[in-house]
């Protein structure tokens, strides 16, 4: 009968109980919304970083990471290529990379030049899909150049503008060549757009190379590998390291610690939001339950007078609080789950903040996502919150002296 008594006590003051239930439901909804939003943002950052910038695995000459010198070229390319060709669903791009200057008649800027083979680069980072003007390289023409829209604005360049690239050749002599802008892209990632330009690999190698062709001089500085998922990444990384033991084979977590940080934050962010919201809820529930106890002092005194022991009185108050949470929690989880599901499907358009988001490499549509374990976290934290919040009112109840309590009017 204690559960029945507790249940009926909950509904003695329906408005008050409904307010607490709604507060719990809204708290959970807010926690799930925040968690979905934060996870979605982090996931968007990670996905963008992998698909547009760093891929899953990159291979470099060990010295290249320290000093991006044209001399530090990759070895064992054939063995690497054989391994990669054997991985289903893997895309890769062999890049020639050089740091240099780009100059227009208006201004000049320091940039990283990526010499690419258009087809393979497109399959790795989809840069061809991010063209907003011009073409993703035309056919049969030398010295074609892709620049970002931001760079075009800064240089005062447009399609067909001729820009001069200056960089060191393999003898570390300064060399320069004029390139014509054939396409303008917008990767939605300002730091990338401000620092990268694309040229065709053959053009860049021709300008870098000063000596006779030599198998030791591949002019490939970077291999970027995109996989269908991160699951097979570490196995492939190991395999590549075996065939190219002198080279530096890194996965995206090693290349970009910020991405790893975001990944590890995903797990803890929902917990942080939950803890903050539950802390606020604890006080709301304590307040309500304290009111429920204080207005029933006489009745609680009577219950103890007729033989209800302190443990049972304590349990009854705790149970009343748990019941309130048991109604509020599923409601909040349902609302939160639906919200996350809907925004996960259709996305939350944040294009109003597009420029700020792009500064950090974030896309302007966020797709919410919540890991399944978050539902478990919510259930456990609500139960803990209810129990913690009920302790003080329940202690207050059992500290009542029946004779004094009965006398209260």
Closest distance to another protein from the beta carbon of 16 (Å): 14
Indicate the burial class of 393 (C-beta count within 10 angstroms; 0-12, 13-18, 19 or more): buried
Buried b (16+ CB within 10 A) or exposed e, 331-358: bbbebbbebbeebbeebbebeeeeeebb
Question: Closer to another protein at the Cβ: 16 or 312?
Answer: 312
Question: Closer to another protein at the Cβ: 227 or 318?
Answer: 318
Question: Closer to another protein at the Cβ: 139 or 399?
Answer: 399
What whole-number distance in Å separates Cα of residue 103 and Cα of residue 91? 33
Question: Closer to another protein at the Cβ: 284 or 402?
Answer: 402
Question: Closer to another protein at the Cβ: 1 or 352?
Answer: 1
Which is nearest to 387 in space by CA: 325, 318, 320, 324? 318
Closest distance to another protein from the beta carbon of 9 (Å): 6
**Contact positions vs another protein (CB under 8 A):** 1, 5, 8-9, 11-12, 298-299, 302-310, 312, 402-403, 406
Which is nearest to 135 in space by CA: 155, 157, 118? 118
What whole-number distance in Å separates Cα of residue 90 and Cα of residue 137? 24
Closest distance to another protein from the beta carbon of 288 (Å): 17
Closest distance to another protein from the beta carbon of 310 (Å): 7
Cβ atoms 232, 194 nearer than 8 A: no
Question: Closer to another protein at the Cβ: 9 or 201?
Answer: 9
- DSSP code, position 221: -
Closest distance to another protein from the beta carbon of 307 (Å): 2
What whole-number distance in Å separates Cα of residue 222 and Cα of residue 216? 15
């Amino acid at each position: 009968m204690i559960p029945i008594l507790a249940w009926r006590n909950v509904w003695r003051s329906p408005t008050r109980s409904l307010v607490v239930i709604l507060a719990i439901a809204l708290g959970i909804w807010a926690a799930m919304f925040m968690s979905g939003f934060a996870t979605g943002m982090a996931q968007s950052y990670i996905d963008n970083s992998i698909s547009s910038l760093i891929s899953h695995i990159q291979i470099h000459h060990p010295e290249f990471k320290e000093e991006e010198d044209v001399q530090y070229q990759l070895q064992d390319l054939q063995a690497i290529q054989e391994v990669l060709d054997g991985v289903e669903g893997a895309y890769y791009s062999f890049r020639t990379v050089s740091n240099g200057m780009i100059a227009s008649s208006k201004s000049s800027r320091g940039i990283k030049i990526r010499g690419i083979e258009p087809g393979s680069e497109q399959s790795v980072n989809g840069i061809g899909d991010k063209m907003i003007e011009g073409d993703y390289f035309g056919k049969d023409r030398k010295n074609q150049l892709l620049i970002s829209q931001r760079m075009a604005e800064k240089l005062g360049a447009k399609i067909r503008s001729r820009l001069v690239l200056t960089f060191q050749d393999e003898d570390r002599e300064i060399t320069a060549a004029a390139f014509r802008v054939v396409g303008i892209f917008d990767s939605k990632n300002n730091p990338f757009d401000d620092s990268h330009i694309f040229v065709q690999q053959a053009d860049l190698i021709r300008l870098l190379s000063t000596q006779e062709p030599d198998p030791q001089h591949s002019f490939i500085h970077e291999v970027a590998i995109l996989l269908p998922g991160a699951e097979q990444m570490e196995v492939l990384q190991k395999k590549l390291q075996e065939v190219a033991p002198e080279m530096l084979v890194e996965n995206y977590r090693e290349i970009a610690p910020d991405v790893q940080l975001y990944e590890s934050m995903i797990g803890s962010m929902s917990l942080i939001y939950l803890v903050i919201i539950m802390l606020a809820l604890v006080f709301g529930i304590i307040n309500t339950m304290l009111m429920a106890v204080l207005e029933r002092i006489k009745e609680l005194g009577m219950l103890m007078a007729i033989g209800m022991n302190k443990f049972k009185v304590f349990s009854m108050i705790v149970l009343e609080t748990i019941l309130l949470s048991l109604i509020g929690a599923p409601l909040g989880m349902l609302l939160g789950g639906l919200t996350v599901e809907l925004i996960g499907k259709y996305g939350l358009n944040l294009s109003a903040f597009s420029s700020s988001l792009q500064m950090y490499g974030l896309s302007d549509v966020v797709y919410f996502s919540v890991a399944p374990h978050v539902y478990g976290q919510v259930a456990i934290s609500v139960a803990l919150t209810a129990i913690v919040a009920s302790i003080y009112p329940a202690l207050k109840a059992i500290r009542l002296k029946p004779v004094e309590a009965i006398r209260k009017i």
